[in-house]
Chain A
C-alpha cells in the first residue's frame, strides 16, 4: 500500500527546522518513522507536509551537561544501547531499550519519536518516569522544559503544540546511583507490543530507607507512576509484606483496556505480579540492576 502524498522538508540544522515549523505549523516531524509511517500508510493521518529530522546533527547527540544526561530527540534506541553513559546513568532505560521491539527497528526508532507518539505502551516511558525525565521542546525563539508525566496526557496525546519540536530528553544524574528493576510481558519474546510493563527504582537517601518509585506501561491511557503504591512504601523498608501491599495497590490504580493482546483483568492481575517481582529484585542485594554504591 503506498503512502499518501506529502511534501518533505529536510532541514540541515535545528534553526532551519524551527523556522520551517514556524512557517508551516501543520508540518509533521518525522523521526525514525517506525510508527508515523504506519499511521500514514493506514491513512490514520494524512499530513500535507512532513519535516524530516534525520539530517539535524544537534538532535543526535548524547551529552552530560551539568550533571544532566541530555539525549537528543533523534538518538535511536540502538544508539542508547551502545552508549556507556546511558548504561551508567540510566540503567533502567538501557534495560528497556534492550528488549524494545527488534534489532532492525531499534536502529531507526528514536527516543523522541517514542515519546511524541505517546503510545500507552511506549517502552522508554516507564523508565524515564522513574528517572525524573524532562522533555525539552523548542519553537522559533522559544525553549521549554516539561516533566515527562505532564507531557504525556492521553493515548497518543502529548502537550506538544503545533510548530514545536521535541528536541531532547533530560535526566538528572543522581549523586548516588539507584538500584532498579524492569520486567515486561509480551505475547512472544521479540518484536511484540508490551501487554504490561513495570519498572521500579530505589534511590538511596541520606538517612533512612531508599525512596522507591514504580512506573507502569500499557495499563493506563499513558505510562504512569504508581503514586498510590509508592505512597505505601514511603519511609518504610522493603519487606515482603510491604511489597505485597504495594503491588496490590499498584494494580488497583491502573485502568487497563481489553484488546487483541489481553483482557483488562489479565493485565491488572499481571501488574501485581510484575510489581512484586520488581520490588523483590530491589530488595535483594544482588537483585535488580545497578549496584547502588
Chain B
C-alpha cells in the first residue's frame, strides 16, 4: 500500500447555507436520556400487572413427545400457562409471498409456540404469566417435557446435500438467487489471470444494551395495547393476525429503543404478551434476560462466499463469478431479503460487465438469522474487498490503484444492471481515509505493521418493489411552536431528532421549539420500519412535504399582512420579515394566530412514496432493487504481534459521502459507532454454537469492544448533496458499518503477507498465518 496518499479534490458542490441543517445541535432526546428520565420498555408498569416468562427448547432438533404444564398451572400465583395447542395456527409470517420475486415457500413460517417439533435451542414452547418474576421462573421450572431427538444439521452446505436432516419439506432451501449479467465465459477468456478466494463469516450477535421487553394490556375499548421496544410499530398487524383480531384492535406503542440494529425488527415479545393479556384479562410484562436476548433473537447470517475474478494485467476486471451460501438458521425470518442484498451487492462498488452470482440460503438447526445492520452488505463487502486486495497482490499492483481502475462511476450499473444515479465518491472517500492515517508507524520483527483499505457501497431505502411509503403530520401552534406526529421508531440514531431539525429548518424556528410525538400505531401517522436506512429518506421527505405546505400558507398570510408579495418574504428565528427591509416583520406566532382566525390550516399530513418498481428478472436477476446507495471507505493501520497473535488497532479513519448531514454530531456518531461495530466483527465477535448449543451465552463469553480496545475513529464527512433524502441527504446508519471489517482484514494481510480468510481474526488464526508466513519466508 502506497503511503502518503493525497485526497482526491472534491467536485464543486454548492450546498445552500442553512440555519439548522448540518449543525451539531443537541438532539431533542439527548437530555432526557442523559438525566435518566427517558422511559424504556422495561421501565413501564401497570396496576395489577403479571410477569411473563417463556419456556424454551433445549434441543436443536426434536419432536415434542409429551408436554405437561399441569404442575406449572397448579403453582399458586400462576395466572396462566399457554402452549402451542392454545395458540395453534398463530405464526410469524416472515417469508412474505411475492416480496422476494421468488415463488413462495410454504410450511416454513415460525410458529409462535412450537407444537410438534422444535428446530433450534431456544425455540419458544410455552408461556407463563404469574404474579412475580420469581414465580414465573419457578413455574417454567415445573414444566415437564419429553423429546424424541431428531438428527440435526449445523452447516448450510451439509443441509443442502442429499440425505441431510430436513427442517422443512421438501428440502432445506430457504432462498436462491441467480444473477446473469453480460457473458461470463467471454469475460473470463479475456482475462490474463483468474484469482479465486473463499471467505467465511460467523454468526454475530447484535448485543444492543437493552434486552427485549414489553408490557401489554387491554384497554376500555377492547384494544390490545403493547408497549414495546421495537423497530416496527406496524407489527400490530402481525399481532392482529396471530390473535385473529381486526387490525384496528391492536395498538403498538413503541418506546425509545436501547439499540436494535435489526434484532428488534422481528416480532420479539409482542405476540406472547398479547396472548397472555387476552387470556388473563390483566396487564402482562415480559423482559428478556441478557442470556435470553442472546439465545432467542436473531443473528447476522454466516456466509461462505467464493469469488472467482478474471483480471487483465493492467488491473481491469473483466469477469466475476461469485457463489454464496448463507445459514438461515432454523426459520427463514428475513433471510430471503438478506440474501437478496448480499447478492445484489456481491461485486462491490465496481464496474464489471460480466457477472454471475449464484446464492443460496439453507436452513440449519441453529439460531435463526435475520436483519443486522447492513443486511448482507457487510458479508458481501468482507468478500469483495478482500478479493480486490488479493487481485492487487496477484498483479503486483497497489490496492488503491486497482480500485481506481474499476470503481463504479455515476451512470454505471451494478451487477443487477441498476444504474447508480447519485454521486459516487469512492475515490474521494478512499484517499481521505488513507491520508488520515498519517505517517506509517514503524514496526519490528515481532510487531508487524499493516494498512488496509475498504471501499464499499450500501443501499438506503427499502427494496423498491415493496412500494415503500411514509407519513408525517406537522402542525404549528398558536405561539409559533411546532408539533410533529410521526410513527417513526427511534432506535438511538436520532431518527426523531432529524425530523424535528428538518421541520425547524423549513418553518424557521429553533430546534427546541419543535416537539415530536412518535411511535404509536394508533395515534401517529405510520412511518414504516426503522430499518434499511430508510427513516431519514422516507419520513424526512414526508416531513419536508408537510412542512413546506404549511410554510407556504404561513408566508402567504404574512405577505398579505405586511403588504408585499410572497417572494419578498424571509422566514427564520420564529419571525417573518421582508428580505430587503427587515424592520417590516411579523412574529411567527402572530401569523399562526392570523391563520387560525382565518380558517387557514396550520397543520398538514403528508405521505412520501419511494420509487415503485417491479421485481428482478427471474432468470437473469437484472433490474433495480434499491432507491440509491451510499459510498464510503475505511482505512486502518494495525500492529500484529507475531508472538501472541494479538492485533492492535493503531489508527482508523472512515470517510463517507452522506449527501447532506442533517445533524452533524449524529452523523459523526453513526459513522464512529458503525465503524466500531465493524471493527468488532473483524476482530473479536463470534456468536459460537457447538452442535446447535450456544457457547457464548452472555457478555462474559461474547465479547464486544470496550473503551480500551480501539482508538477513536477519525470521521470524515463528505457532502455531495446528491442524495434523494431531505436537502440532498443520503442514509448513513448501515453504510457506516460496511467498510470497517474488510479494511481490518486487508490490513492484517498486509502486515503478515498472508491472508486469513475467516473472521474474527482471532489470535490463534493469526498465529497460523504467522507460521505460514514464516514457512514462506515472508516473516
Residues on A facing B (Cβ under 8 Å): 1-2, 102, 185, 187-193, 260, 262-263, 266, 269-270, 273
* 4 shortest interchain CB distances as A-B pairs: A189-B708, A190-B706, A2-B134, A273-B643
In contact, B133 and A266 (Cβ under 8 angstroms): no
In contact, B709 and A260 (Cβ under 8 angstroms): no
In contact, B703 and A188 (Cβ under 8 angstroms): yes
In contact, A189 and B764 (Cβ under 8 angstroms): no
In contact, B703 and A1 (Cβ under 8 angstroms): no
Residues of B within 8 A of A1 (CB): 137, 289, 291
Residues of B within 8 A of A185 (CB): 644, 646, 763
Residues of A within 8 A of B133 (CB): 2
Closest Cβ of chain B to A48, distance in Å, is 16
In contact, B703 and A190 (Cβ under 8 angstroms): no
Interface 1/0 per residue, B632-657 and A, CB below 8 Å: 00000000000111100000000000
Q: Is the interface of A mostly helix, strand, loop or mixed?
A: loop
Residues of B within 8 A of A273 (CB): 643-644
With the chains together, A191 CA to B708 CA distance in Å? 10
From the candidates B137, B684, B706, B764, name the one contacting A262 in the complex (CB within 8 A): B764
With the chains together, A199 CA to B414 CA distance in Å? 56
From the candidates B137, B643, B700, name the one contacting A193 in the complex (CB within 8 A): B700
Given A1-B137, A270-B644, are A187 and B703 neighbors across the interface (CB < 8 Å)? yes
With the chains together, A260 CA to B703 CA distance in Å? 11
From the candidates B646, B695, B767, name the one contacting A260 in the complex (CB within 8 A): B695
Residues of B within 8 A of A190 (CB): 706-709
With the chains together, A187 CA to B705 CA distance in Å? 10
Judge if B696 is at the interface, Cβ distance under 8 Å.
Answer: yes
Residues of A within 8 A of B646 (CB): 185
Interface 1/0 per residue, B709-737 and A, CB below 8 Å: 10000000000000000000000000000
Q: Which residue of B lies closest to A3 (CB)?
A: B134
In contact, A260 and B706 (Cβ under 8 angstroms): no
From the candidates B688, B706, B767, name the one contacting A191 in the complex (CB within 8 A): B706
Closest Cβ of chain B to A268, distance in Å, is 12
In contact, B764 and A266 (Cβ under 8 angstroms): yes
Judge if B701 is at the interface, Cβ distance under 8 Å.
Answer: yes
In contact, A2 and B703 (Cβ under 8 angstroms): no
In contact, A189 and B767 (Cβ under 8 angstroms): no
In contact, B767 and A266 (Cβ under 8 angstroms): yes
7 contacts between A and B (CB under 8 A): A2-B134, A189-B706, A189-B708, A190-B706, A260-B688, A262-B764, A273-B643
In contact, A188 and B644 (Cβ under 8 angstroms): no
State which residues 679-706 of B face A: CB under 8 Å.
684, 688, 695-696, 700-701, 703, 705-706
Most A Cβ at <10 Å: residue of B289, B291, B644: B644
In contact, B684 and A188 (Cβ under 8 angstroms): yes
Closest Cβ of chain B to A244, distance in Å, is 13
With the chains together, A262 CA to B137 CA distance in Å? 34
With the chains together, A193 CA to B698 CA distance in Å? 13
Closest Cβ of chain A to B352, distance in Å, is 38
In contact, B289 and A263 (Cβ under 8 angstroms): no
In contact, B764 and A188 (Cβ under 8 angstroms): no
Residues of B within 8 A of A270 (CB): 644
Residues of B within 8 A of A269 (CB): 767
With the chains together, A185 CA to B645 CA distance in Å? 10
With the chains together, A178 CA to B764 CA distance in Å? 34
Closest Cβ of chain B to A222, distance in Å, is 21
Residues of A within 8 A of B643 (CB): 273
With the chains together, A269 CA to B643 CA distance in Å? 9
Residues of A within 8 A of B695 (CB): 260
Question: Besides A2-B134, A190-B707, A263-B764, 10 other CB < 8 A contacts?
Answer: A2-B133, A102-B706, A185-B646, A187-B762, A187-B763, A188-B706, A188-B709, A260-B696, A266-B764, A270-B644
Residues of B within 8 A of A260 (CB): 688, 695-696, 701
Residues of B within 8 A of A189 (CB): 706, 708-709
With the chains together, A261 CA to B695 CA distance in Å? 10
Closest Cβ of chain B to A270, distance in Å, is 6
In contact, B644 and A192 (Cβ under 8 angstroms): no
Residues of A within 8 A of B700 (CB): 193
Closest Cβ of chain A to B445, distance in Å, is 14
Residues of A within 8 A of B645 (CB): 266
With the chains together, A285 CA to B410 CA distance in Å? 62
Residues of B within 8 A of A263 (CB): 764
Q: Which residue of B lies closest to A196 (CB)?
A: B644
Residues of A within 8 A of B709 (CB): 188-190
From the candidates B134, B703, B764, name the one contacting A192 in the complex (CB within 8 A): B703
Interface 1/0 per residue, B729-773 and A, CB below 8 Å: 000000000000000000000000000000000111001000000
With the chains together, A231 CA to B178 CA distance in Å? 66
Residues of B within 8 A of A187 (CB): 684, 703, 762-763
In contact, A2 and B137 (Cβ under 8 angstroms): yes
Q: Which residue of B lies closest to A102 (CB)?
A: B706
With the chains together, A273 CA to B641 CA distance in Å? 11
Q: Which residue of B lies closest to A270 (CB)?
A: B644
State which residues 288-328 of B face A: CB under 8 Å.
289, 291
In contact, A188 and B705 (Cβ under 8 angstroms): yes
Residues of A within 8 A of B696 (CB): 260
Residues of A within 8 A of B289 (CB): 1
Residues of B within 8 A of A193 (CB): 700
Closest Cβ of chain A to B652, distance in Å, is 15
With the chains together, A1 CA to B134 CA distance in Å? 8
Closest Cβ of chain B to A104, distance in Å, is 12
Closest Cβ of chain A to B706, distance in Å, is 4
Residues of B within 8 A of A191 (CB): 706
Residues of A within 8 A of B134 (CB): 2
With the chains together, A259 CA to B325 CA distance in Å? 28
Closest Cβ of chain A to B246, distance in Å, is 37
With the chains together, A269 CA to B709 CA distance in Å? 23
With the chains together, A270 CA to B696 CA distance in Å? 23
Residues of A within 8 A of B701 (CB): 260
With the chains together, A104 CA to B696 CA distance in Å? 22
Closest Cβ of chain A to B538, distance in Å, is 37
Residues of A within 8 A of B763 (CB): 185, 187, 262, 266
Residues of B within 8 A of A102 (CB): 706
Closest Cβ of chain B to A101, distance in Å, is 11
Residues of B within 8 A of A2 (CB): 133-134, 137
Closest Cβ of chain A to B708, distance in Å, is 4
Closest Cβ of chain A to B766, distance in Å, is 10
With the chains together, A102 CA to B703 CA distance in Å? 14
With the chains together, A204 CA to B566 CA distance in Å? 91
Most B Cβ at <10 Å: residue of A188, A193, A270: A188
With the chains together, A193 CA to B700 CA distance in Å? 8
With the chains together, A270 CA to B701 CA distance in Å? 20
With the chains together, A193 CA to B696 CA distance in Å? 14
With the chains together, A187 CA to B685 CA distance in Å? 10
Interface 1/0 per residue, B273-295 and A, CB below 8 Å: 00000000000000001010000
With the chains together, A189 CA to B763 CA distance in Å? 14
With the chains together, A1 CA to B762 CA distance in Å? 32
With the chains together, A181 CA to B644 CA distance in Å? 17
